[in-house]
Chains A and B, each alone.
Chain A
Amino acid sequence: MTNLVEIRDLKVAFDSVPVLHGIDLDVRPGEALGLVGESGCGKSVTWLAALGLLPSKASVSGRVTLGDTDLTGAPRTQLEQVRGGRIAMIFQDPSSALNPVLKVGRQLCEALKLHRGLTGKPAKQEALRLMDMVGIPDARGRFALYPHEFSGGQCQRLMIAMALAGEPDLLIADEPTTALDATIQAQILDLLVRLRAEMNMATVFISHDLGAVAQVCERVCVMYAGRIVEQGAVGQLFDRPRHPYTRGLFDALPRLDGPRVALTPIQGTVPDPRKLPAGCAFAPRCTHARDFCHGERPDLLAQRDGRHLACAYPLPEAPAAREDVHAPREGVHP
């Protein structure tokens, strides 16, 4: 099957400080891909760059193709067709992502007009249908309200409705639940899972929350300091993470099942993009690092089991002694 979106060697620098160092990433039609990693590793920048949404001080190189369209270097008018029309994006803080001085109905109808040519009554009908679909109660009565009259969770539902307005092939959800409390988070995740199935739309789900990723996604990319370090099926990575960083992310998670064990956060902090270590960027924090790791950077290579991995001394393929601790989390296997 051909890929919906292909990202090749995508690099981004801000004020000549590189923050993305060549990302290769494919999104297949209809699939749900997770993108995880600590704050600042470049998850958002990857997709903002792909859609040409970074400020002009960012220098972007590499190729992003959507079907036959090359998005990098595409003229602005063409990008504007793609944005919201074929690739829609929703963001972390829903309350500030909606324009505070425009009625939500108007913001929805704007998207409908841009991508589906709907105006007037049909636009309103469709907007109401979308509001209904994402679970806004009393859509008709709330059509003419302003964003501050909705809760954070409802604002995110509205953002999702707006993203669906253009019937996109791909929805980028950039930490859509981080700013919401736990029960609302779960509802929004359910909504995303349901909508993806209903609309047959690919989803890229950006998150710190591995549990949420497991619930929503089939495939996961783990990013560290502007690079992809491990990539594979959700089951694979969750069963047996092979990059010490991926493993570290799991060890830092509280477990709902199994015996209570002490959480072990990853030592140290994310490196400053201006002062990246010479070798593997994770080496200074890695308990498995050897001399080689500090001098040379491993490439992202395909493994026998289909995953991709960038580590010179990965964790073993076969189950290790602490198997019990790393049994799959609930909901990982379909």
Chain B
Amino acid sequence: MITFVLIRLVRAVVTVLAVMTFAFVVLRMSGDPAQVLLGPDLPQEAVDAFRKEWGLDAPLWQQYLSYFRAILSGDFGLSMRDRSPAIELVLDRVPATLQLTLPALLLKLGIGIPAGIYAALHRDSAVDRGVIFLAILGFTIPSFVMGLVLVLIFAVTLHWLPSGGIGTWQHALLPAITMSIGGIGILARFSRSAMIEVMGQPYIRTASAKGVRWQDVVRGHALPNAAVPIVTIVGFMVGSVISGAVVVETIFSWPGIGRLLIVSVANRDLAVVQCILLIIAAVMVVSNLVVDLLYGWLDPRLRAQPAH
């Protein structure tokens, strides 16, 4: 068990390092912050001074080393735009993003999983077909289309809800729904097939042959087995509570991390972008870690096995 956790911890750290490095290199290769921030017509001296000030004149590997040292001492750098600490800028936006992503996550879990399970237990019924149809619709329509359609209906035409901005819970409604629909579809499909698979297993027949009531076969014998694959997908969704909001925040002008990311990338605000990517990677990695540990808890067969 200890090695199981240790191996996964090491893997998690390696993943975060890889993301950090990748983001660092790509950002620096893909455009000059001086050009973007200062404009194209500035004299060369000003550009050089800017480069020197931000350490952009050193060789890449030196820049990387000092970046890395700074991170280890908890210094995430300053925003090139207003010289405030990048980490503060980013953390300021976290609550706004969570205001969308957490309700969306609850919708995905609360609707997707029960719908999928119900459909599986009533296979080939009208309800089942309906669930499949809606699920496919849900995850094939891109969220920007879905968002615009919802805005057209509920904001522009019916005037029930605001079309953008942050403020009351009504403001959060459309973006949260937009964000959840794809996930509801995916989870419904996935829970359905996981449950169908499990209900066809010999041990389910054993439980029925033993005289277990049907409801208890479903609850006590099938669900604990179906939980294993479902948890994988849920882990993925939890992992993207920070990153999943980019498109939707942009559509609904929601001042969260997603929008900050878009703006900072456009401005080549290196420290801010790196900080956001680091946080996204960390959340992903932590949720994967939790999923791995949950596996062992849900499925005793995975406990004994060495990690692969």
Contacts and interface: CB of A to CB of B under 8 A. Distances in A.
A80 B201 contact: no
Nearest to B123: A56
A166 B225 CA distance: 25
A276 to B, nearest CB: 27
B301 A146 contact: yes
28 contacts: A51-B209, A76-B214, A80-B211, A80-B212, A80-B213, A80-B214, A81-B211, A82-B211, A84-B210, A85-B211, A96-B201, A96-B203, A97-B203, A97-B206, A99-B207, A99-B224, A100-B301, A101-B300, A102-B220, A102-B224, A110-B212, A111-B210, A111-B211, A114-B211, A146-B300, A162-B206, A162-B210, A166-B211
Given A91-B209, A99-B221, A100-B225, 19 more contacts: A51-B209, A77-B213, A80-B211, A84-B210, A85-B211, A88-B210, A91-B206, A93-B202, A96-B202, A96-B203, A97-B203, A97-B206, A98-B206, A99-B207, A99-B224, A100-B203, A102-B221, A114-B211, A146-B300
Interface residues of B, number: 22
Interface in A84-138: 84-85, 88-89, 91, 93, 96-102, 110-111, 114-115
Contact of B212 (A89, A96, A97, A114): A114
Nearest to B201: A96
A83 interface: yes
A255 interface: no
Nearest to B300: A146
Contact of A83 (B202, B209, B228, B300): B209
Given A53-B205, A97-B202, A99-B203, A115 B300 contact: no
Contacts of A110: 210, 212, 220
Nearest to A111: B210
Nearest to A57: B124
A10 interface: no
A63 interface: no
A63 to B, nearest CB: 20
Contacts of B224: 99, 101-102
Contact of B300 (A80, A89, A96, A100): A100
B233 interface: no
B208 interface: yes
Nearest to A87: B209
Contacts of A166: 210-211
